[in-house]
Chain A
Amino acid sequence: MGWWRLARPAVAGGGAGGAAPRAALRSWAMPPDYSGVTFPERTKLKFMEKVPAVPKVQREPRRLRDIRGPSRDATELTQGQYGILALGGGYLHWGHFEMIRLTIGRCMDPKTMFAVWRVPAPHKAVTRKSLGHRMGGGKGPIDHYVTAVKSGRLVVEVGGRCEFEEVKPFLTQVARKLPFPAIPVSRDSLQQMRREEEERRLNNQNPWTFERVVTANMLGMRKYLSPRDLELKGRYWGKYFLKHRV
């Protein structure tokens, strides 16, 4: 199924928009150069275990701070050219991993494309008490394992001899199903996003910025803010990433 057939605009006979299509000198675009692309051994996504090889005995505290704030790992595209970027924090469990693996495996062509994981297998134990009991009686047993994902982290990377428009449909399909907001990105679109963010920060006409108020503790604002707001600078609230904030 050619991806280009879906995106072809309807040919207008010189109505709204611009001039009617005229015969002109044909100019050919150079085909894309995939010379720098190296394929890994296995092009399809690896199967992720539900439970780690050594299951945990000691139940660990909830530690929700592994969802909060920007991500430090896996923020850049390394092996592939396109990926899914998380725009919020959340936990991925085995069901999500299977969904990603199967959808991408179904939609991509293993001969010309490859996909790699950028998140580890579920390792964080989540406990759950049995339903319908009162509080107390100790911590519940381990129910399942999850991986924590912070905003700004890449979940999967896809690459190979393919264009962004080919890969975008199924990556958006996967991104919609994730428990946090996510978008498919390419190298260019990621750079563009970062550049725009920087431009917004520089050409902001508002003299009062969150960072300025918090660092100077104007009006005693720090009474109502968390110490972590010094780093988060008003762009993160809980697990959410506030994209519209500068």
Chain B
Amino acid sequence: MAALGGGAAWRGAWLPALRLARRSSKAVTRHWKAMHLQRHKLMALTEYLAPRPAVPERCLRPAAGPQEEENGYARLLRRQVEEVFRDSRMIVVCQYNSMPGDDMVLMRHYLRKHNIEVKFFLNEIVRPVLSQSRYKNLLPLFVGRNILLVSPETKAKEMLRVLKGVPQVNLLGACIDDTILSRQGVENFAKLPPLEASQGQTVGALALLPSQTCSLLQHGAAHLTALLDRHIRQLRDGAGEGATPAGPEPAQSPGAP
């Protein structure tokens, strides 16, 4: 270590080589080198201070959920639901409990014979579609596991018969010909005679009165004829020993209605 040689001119100078030579370790050491107090203070002073807003962020974030992009599959399913509601006359909502697979297949087969299809839709797809269409009152039915039985015809009696044999599927409600029916309503609807029979009945009921017109009009004359006939018979019987033919009377009656 070279000592400071020279006079007063050198004493005030700060030569880094000499100054640093007094220290024990170099700049880069294997261990954590102890810092000078002033440097330590500077490091403590210049530390990072995180921002602290007046209202914390967690109080200001009500709806920051990530918006999921429109799923093409969901759109397809929604379109299918709309088609089903548009094209079918009878839509029945049933509660669906899990049942054996082959029972399910059999039930679908029997329903298919009556042209009734079994459809499965997810509630989360059906609910928004219904809430925007005119079937809003069917919304309470679409909670929990359910299936839809749809058909372009209204064969309620056969459907009820099939469903009676399947205890795991319970009818909740139906929409038949744009009329919302409950379970009771469906049963009553099933008891109704078929459309053709009821049409015939109506026509018969309507045609009943005109058919009676003819007999009503002829009622007076017929009554008179009957009375006169009886009278003639009485007279004939009364005057059986006599010989008074009621010639002029029978000739007279057909000419006087």
- By the criterion CB–CB under 8 Å, are B42 and A206 in contact? no
A212 nearest CB neighbor, chain B only:
B46
Give the Cβ gap from A28 to chain B, nearest Cβ, in Å.
9
Give the Cβ gap from B249 to chain A, nearest Cβ, in Å.
95
Give the Cβ gap from B226 to chain A, nearest Cβ, in Å.
81
CA distance A23 to B92 in the complex (A): 22
CA distance A142 to B128 in the complex (A): 79
Instruction: From the candidates A68, A209, A237, name the one contacting B35 in the complex (CB within 8 A).
Output: A237
A200 interfacial by beta-carbon distance below 8 Å = yes
- By the criterion CB–CB under 8 Å, are B38 and A224 in contact? yes
B45 nearest CB neighbor, chain A only:
A208
A221-B38, A237-B33 are known contacts. Are A209 and B46 too (CB-CB below 8 A)? Answer: yes
A226 interfacial by beta-carbon distance below 8 Å = yes
Instruction: Tell me which of A89, A239, A245 has the highest count of chain B C-beta atoms within 10 A of its own C-beta.
Output: A239
CA distance A226 to B32 in the complex (A): 16
- By the criterion CB–CB under 8 Å, are A234 and B46 in contact? yes
Give the Cβ gap from A101 to chain B, nearest Cβ, in Å.
25
B74 interfacial by beta-carbon distance below 8 Å = yes
A210 interfacial by beta-carbon distance below 8 Å = yes
A27 nearest CB neighbor, chain B only:
B71
B29 interfacial by beta-carbon distance below 8 Å = yes
List B contacts of A221 (CB < 8 A).
38-39, 42
Instruction: From the candidates A206, A223, A226, A238, name the one contacting B48 in the complex (CB within 8 A).
Output: A206
A205-B51, A238-B28, A238-B33 are known contacts. Are A25 and B42 too (CB-CB below 8 A)? Answer: no
B10 interfacial by beta-carbon distance below 8 Å = no
A-B contact pairs, 15 of them (CB 8 A): A25-B73, A203-B50, A205-B51, A208-B45, A210-B46, A221-B42, A223-B38, A225-B39, A234-B43, A237-B35, A238-B27, A239-B28, A239-B30, A245-B47, A246-B48
